[in-house]
Amino acid sequence: MNREMLMLVDALAREKNVEKETVFAAVELALASATKKRYTGEVDIRVAINRDTGEYESFRRWLVVPDEAGLQNPESEVLLFEAKEQIPDIEVEDHMEEPIENVEFGRIGAQAAKQVILQRIRDAEREQILNDYLDRGEKVFLGTIKRMDKGDAIVESGKVEARLRRDQMIPKENLRSGDRVKGVI
């Protein structure tokens, strides 16, 4: 699975025009989500993918809490004195990790992982498009009218669709689908 993992990340990063690190983070989150389904209760799982080999490791994590606070969630918290028995230099608010077996994906686990990955990549795409437009500042853009909607024009410019409201158009201007327009952002 290691070579396939690297090819998947590379292909998704190129196809969706997002950074590889974003795709790796999405895959790690998806693998952690699928691994959590094996456990009952609210466990904290972390998955680490080696960026060079594609191998991944899964870890169950516990948050170290002060002894006097007590455990609010025993599945994901450990008291400081118990943690110090295993790791002498651990502090409060650190995480104690234990390696666990990597999960074998069934059909449902793979489908859930796919949904998590695609959602994270969509979010990264939206953020990148927004940043591209924010970097432009007040500039003129060229777009094509895609359709008219209740007097407003839906303008397509590159990967982005924008609504040109009727009150922002030139009075008595008659726009139709397919017309090219210039606007100011």
Residue type at 95 in one-letter notation: H
Which CATH code, of 3.40.50.2300, 2.120.10.80, 2.40.50.140, 1.10.3210.10, is assigned to 140-184?
2.40.50.140
- The CA–CA distances, whole Å, from 167 to 144, 151, 160, 172, 181 equal 19, 9, 21, 11, 16
Return d(Cα 73, Cα 84) in angstroms, integer: 19
- Tell whether pTM > 0.75: no
What ranges do the domains of the chain cover? 2-133, 140-184
Q: What is the pLDDT of residue 48?
A: 92
Q: What is the pLDDT of residue 36?
A: 84
Q: In this model, does residue 103 exceed pLDDT 60?
A: yes
Please check whether the domain covering 2-133 is classified as CATH 3.40.50.300: no
Q: What is the pLDDT of residue 174?
A: 85
Helix 20-36 × helix 2-16 angle, to 10°: 130
Q: What is the pLDDT of residue 93?
A: 85
Q: In this model, does residue 134 exceed pLDDT 80?
A: no
